Amino acid sequence: MSTHLNGVSVIVAGAGLAGLAAARELAANGARVTVVEARDRVGGRVYTLADGFIEGQHAEAGGDLIDEDHTALIHLTEELGLPLARILRKGFGYARLAANGKVRIQRPSSARGWTRLSAALEPHIRAYRIGERRWDTPVAADLASRSVAEWLDAMQADEELRATAKGLRGFFLADPDELSLLALVDQFSGEETSWPSKMYRVEGGNQRLAAAMAAALGDRVKLGTEIVAVSQRGRRVRASLKSGRLTADLLADYMIFAIPATLLRRIPITPALPVHQHQAIAKLAYGRATKTLVQFAERFWRSATRPRAFGSPLPAGAVWDANEEQRGRPGILSLLAGGSASDATAAIVERDGVEALARSLEWLGVKDTTLVGSRQHRWEADTWSRGGYAVFDHTFDPALRGWLAQPFGKLFFAGEHTSLKYQGYMNGAVESGQRAAAEVIATHRMAARGRPLHTAL
């Protein structure tokens, strides 16, 4: 154990992956850490569900797929002794409505829409790359001021391109008329030659990662405790806490906010955050996302010649095998409906039940197979997230993005929304928590040498 922070106290708001990763690093450096979590569980938007499924199977209602380049998360699982299971080896195909009204499956090698979309974006990608993919340039501002739908209209895109862009709402959690063109260009401008080549899950459920970190922290994790106000005066941070009907103040040397911006902007902070930082947090949108998990008596979707995951512009959203790494004859499909598909999915289930949603998977082969279990979680209706993950819509000023992670005095900020490369991913949450912990250590070192950071009050 390092002793950089011996005698130093830190409050971490949020026991999702970001907050727990930060707390783990701080504790390893000798800090007295208190993790405050409003939910009655750890994990945040990583949420493994087992209740409601037969034969002991489970699936992810939140963060699910781990890509092979998610090194921070993968290294963390290795340190905690949590094995990963390889999944979806054939990658993602694409399902779309054909002219005759039937759903047609396109394999990854024949997904012409993706190639055409990338080619159409190439002039914007080139200009964006020349600017080093920075978000504080005129090029970024120009791209950000337009929605994907406006761009499609301007170029008189055909139905294939529009359907491909619409299918991305399962990835961005936003429709083309909401999503910033900059967000789309940024995604297609990466240097990766394939996306992704290998994918994994934590064996036994991704929530095991949060549980393992929390177990090591022990009673330093306070569940069912909400932060209602924060102030920093002099050398201390004061957090006002509420647990049930009880309220109390907690003092510390530093504080890390590892909660979504949807919750952060509701907490009074004294003195107020800088204007640009306040605007960034206030303006950041979060995507609508409904995850429906449907368990069938048989895994009818399995085929030696096609993938087990599909993007789609259909109301059910993206569809993939939710538990192929688990034993048993039954199997679970994960349906992620983003943007307006989240509303459509909720409406279908409310009107006709989850059975109707299951029947809509006829294109995968469901006919006589019995539906034996289901669970659904609508993240925009979740009190402690109010959305799936951050979305950069066409009203967000890209020059504000860096302010989401900017320290302010003794306050620091983490969460997937603060990550530049892995925003929206579990890896982004883990990296951001580790980064915030490193910032606390660096700030404390500088203060000990009489050289506080420029962000200090």
DSSP 363: G
> What homologous superfamily is domain 9-40+223-285+400-448 in, according to CATH?
FAD/NAD(P)-binding domain (3.50.50.60)
Bridge partners of 319, per DSSP, are 310, 335
| pLDDT recorded at residue 456 | 43
DSSP 414: -
Distance CA 327, CA 324 (A): 8
Nearest CA-CA partner of 269 in 243, 239, 294, 289: 239
Bridge partners of 374, per DSSP, are 294
Q: Is the dihedral of CA 334, 337, 341, 342 positive or negative?
A: positive
Domain chopping of the chain, boundaries: 9-40+223-285+400-448, 109-194
| pLDDT recorded at residue 97 | 80
* Radius of gyration of the chain, Cα coordinates, nearest whole angstrom: 22
- Regions in the chain scoring below 70 on pLDDT: 1-2, 107-111, 191-196, 452-457
Q: Provide CATH code, domain 109-194.
A: 1.10.405.10
| pLDDT (tens digit per residue) in 30-81 | 999 999 999 999 999 999 999 999 999 999 999 999 999 999 999 999 999 9
Burial of 191 (C-beta count, 10 Å sphere; 0-12/13-18/19+): exposed
